[in-house]
């Protein structure tokens, strides 16, 4: 997700920003710009570089733009759900792009449909626009605040409203959102790696519960729900974010190295070489090798022209992808005892195939080490994880998992170790896919609504009732620097 205000090349820069953020979604992409009193937009299924050519970008004039790359965690993988979603409303034309999942979108949607609203997508993002259109507030900022007071869950969003770009982050701050500067222009992005590609300067994170308004007056900031328990997604530094990004104020690469070092202390292995599962295991493996004093080597090579298996939504592609994606380097692993480092085990089928690859290439032993705790619970806040029954750690004990993947030993990083290595407490983070303590209550269904969230030293604290109206503070304008 990317937004820019005040640059004559807004669409081209958004294209580049999305290019840097491609890892956050590969199903579809879109860009919306503002010029001549209307929104211009282009959206399509596929990768950013395949969708946008010169002709398409030339149809996106204007100095303001918002853009999005999508993978579906709510709503189908279909062009109608591609973002930004563009509506003509009583508040003017609006284009919105959203990262995260709302936990009460279905409830709001049912209520609005009962009252006559017609939805054109199955995405939870559309709920924002309906709520804004129905708000009695007279301006867009107040209408967005009205809308945000109704929704619960994870959202970092960008909105194009006239020439203004508005960005907001949910009060728990599940997903990252950063504010930057490119000359006189203002930019926002899901991750700082987008700024690096543009040579933009990182200014700061958009705070949880903060809305920033980028316009001719500079950057204005207003709060709509600050001061609550934060719930930064620990899976962002573990797996999802790019290692060259900074999320939640910390370098992802350094965080992963720290997870690896801690993992080596918690689960040492008598091995000859430390091998990462590329790419997300690379920095954890470096940390593991440093801490254990064992050489690090690239014993697996990844074909970068195959999509990431974890976020491909179709099972057929997922199975196919594993086979073509990785290959073992015989000269590195042959005749060696290998510590194999990965960020997580989801279903276990990928790990099993990788262990087999290494053994077929001559590895004598494969000791699997995972730089996060067992993934036992699905995410309801915007990361695509399977249902609980498909998560191997939810249905199997450690020894059964080891046996299934055919490793000689298996060790996971502890929850305490992961949080300590990241330098945050459980009260600041969401770690629900590991702990089952959902910091924002989720809808009933297969996964039950938690009444408690984890506290320090394993003490459970009551979850906040986020259905209460949120406080709205005055807008405080800060000049552009």
> Which residues lie near ligand SF4 (CB under 6 A)?
174, 233-235, 379, 381, 383, 430-433
Closer of 274 and 433 to ligand SF4 (Cβ): 433
Task: Find the shortest distance in angstroms from Cβ 436 to ligand SF4.
Answer: 9
Task: Find the shortest distance in angstroms from Cβ 234 to ligand SF4.
Answer: 5
Phi/psi for 436 (5° steps) reads 80, 0
Closer of 162 and 243 to ligand SF4 (Cβ): 243
Closer of 366 and 383 to ligand SF4 (Cβ): 383
Q: At what angle do helices 252-266 and 415-422 cross, to 10 degrees?
A: 140
Closer of 33 and 190 to ligand SF4 (Cβ): 190
Task: Find the shortest distance in angstroms from Cβ 235 to ligand SF4.
Answer: 4
Phi/psi for 450 (5° steps) reads -80, 145
- Percent helix, strand and coil across the chain, each to the nearest 5: 30, 25, 40
Closer of 180 and 382 to ligand SF4 (Cβ): 382
Task: Find the shortest distance in angstroms from Cβ 259 to ligand SF4.
Answer: 14
Q: Classify residue 268 by its DSSP letter.
A: -
Closer of 336 and 424 to ligand SF4 (Cβ): 424
Task: Find the shortest distance in angstroms from Cβ 236 to ligand SF4.
Answer: 7
Burial of 387-407, coded b for 16+ CB within 10 Å and e otherwise, reads: ebeebbbbeeeeeebbebbeb
Task: Find the shortest distance in angstroms from Cβ 306 to ligand SF4.
Answer: 23
Measure the CA–CA gap between 279 and 308, rounded to whole angstroms: 10
Q: Are 401 and 412 within 8 A, CB to CB?
A: no
End-to-end CA distance of the chain, in Å? 23
What sections of 65-139 are H helices per DSSP?
105-114, 126-134
Task: Find the shortest distance in angstroms from Cβ 239 to ligand SF4.
Answer: 8
Give SS3 for 229: coil
Closer of 128 and 381 to ligand SF4 (Cβ): 381
| Continuous segment of H or E residues that includes residue 38 | strand 38-45
Q: Are 72 and 59 within 8 A, CB to CB?
A: no
Task: Find the shortest distance in angstroms from Cβ 205 to ligand SF4.
Answer: 17
Task: Find the shortest distance in angstroms from Cβ 394 to ligand SF4.
Answer: 13
Closer of 137 and 461 to ligand SF4 (Cβ): 461
Closer of 91 and 98 to ligand SF4 (Cβ): 98
Q: Classify residue 30 by its DSSP letter.
A: E
State whether the Cα torsion 303-305-311-312 is positive or negative. negative
Closer of 292 and 375 to ligand SF4 (Cβ): 375
Report CA-CA distances (Å) from 297 to 170, 278, 409, 476: 41, 11, 20, 52
Q: How many whole angstroms from its chain centre is CA 384?
A: 9
CB contact set of 323 (below 8 Å; sequence gap of 6+)? 353
Burial class (CB in 10 A: 0-12, 13-18, 19+), 85: buried
Task: Find the shortest distance in angstroms from Cβ 81 to ligand SF4.
Answer: 20
What is the radius of gyration, based on Cα positions, of the chain? Answer: 22
Task: Find the shortest distance in angstroms from Cβ 437 to ligand SF4.
Answer: 9
Closer of 14 and 190 to ligand SF4 (Cβ): 190
**What residues pair up with 339 in beta bridges, in sequence order?**
274, 367
Q: Are 40 and 56 within 8 A, CB to CB?
A: no
Residue among 196, 298, 182, 287 nearest 244 (CA) = 196
């Amino acid at each position: 997700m990317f937004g820019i205000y005040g640059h004559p090349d807004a669409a081209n820069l958004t294209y580049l920003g999305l290019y840097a953020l491609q890892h956050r979604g590969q199903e579809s992409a879109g860009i919306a710009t503002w010029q001549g009193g209307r929104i211009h937009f282009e959206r399509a299924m596929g990768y950013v570089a395949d969708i946008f050519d010169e002709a398409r970008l030339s149809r996106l004039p204007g100095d303001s733009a918002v853009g999005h790359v999508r993978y579906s965690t709510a709503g189908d993988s279909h062009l109608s759900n591609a973002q930004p979603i563009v509506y003509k409303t009583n508040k003017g034309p609006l284009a919105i792009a959203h990262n995260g999942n709302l936990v009460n979108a279905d409830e709001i949607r049912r209520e609005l449909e009962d009252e006559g609203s017609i939805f054109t997508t199955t995405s939870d993002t559309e709920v924002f626009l309906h709520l804004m259109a129905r708000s009695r507030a007279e301006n867009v900022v107040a209408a967005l605040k009205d809308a945000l007071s109704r929704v619960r869950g994870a959202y970092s969003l960008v909105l194009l409203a006239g020439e203004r770009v508005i960005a907001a982050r949910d009060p728990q701050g599940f997903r990252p959102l950063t504010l930057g500067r490119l000359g006189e222009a203002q930019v926002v992005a899901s991750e700082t790696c987008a700024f690096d590609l543009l040579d933009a300067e990182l200014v700061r994170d958009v705070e949880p519960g903060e809305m920033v308004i980028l316009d001719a007056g500079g950057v204005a900031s207003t709060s709509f729900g600050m001061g609550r328990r934060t719930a930064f997604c620990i899976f962002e530094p573990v797996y999802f974010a790019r290692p060259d990004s900074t999320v939640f104020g910390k370098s992802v690469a350094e965080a992963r190295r720290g997870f690896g070092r801690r993992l080596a202390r918690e689960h040492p292995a008598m091995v000859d070489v430390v091998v990462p599962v590329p790419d997300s295991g690379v920095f954890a493996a470096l940390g593991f090798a440093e801490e254990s004093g064992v050489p690090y080597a690239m014993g697996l090579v990844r074909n970068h022209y195959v999509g990431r298996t974890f976020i491909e939504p179709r099972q057929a592609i997922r199975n196919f992808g594993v086979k073509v994606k990785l290959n073992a380097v015989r000269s590195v692993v042959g005749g060696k005892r290998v510590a194999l480092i990965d960020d997580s085990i989801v279903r276990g089928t990928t790990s099993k195939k990788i262990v087999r690859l290494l053994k077929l290439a001559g590895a004598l032993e494969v000791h699997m080490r995972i730089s996060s705790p067992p993934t036992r619970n699905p995410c309801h806040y915007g990361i695509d994880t399977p249902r609980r029954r498909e998560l191997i750690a939810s249905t199997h004990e450690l020894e059964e998992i080891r046996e299934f993947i055919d490793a000689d030993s298996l060790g996971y990083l502890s929850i305490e170790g992961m949080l300590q290595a990241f330098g945050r407490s459980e009260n600041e983070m969401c770690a629900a896919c590991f702990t089952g303590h959902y910091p924002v209550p989720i809808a009933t269904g297969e996964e039950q609504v938690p009444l408690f969230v984890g506290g320090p030293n394993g003490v459970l604290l009551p979850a906040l009732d986020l259905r209460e109206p949120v406080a709205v503070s005055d807008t405080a304008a800060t000049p552009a620097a």
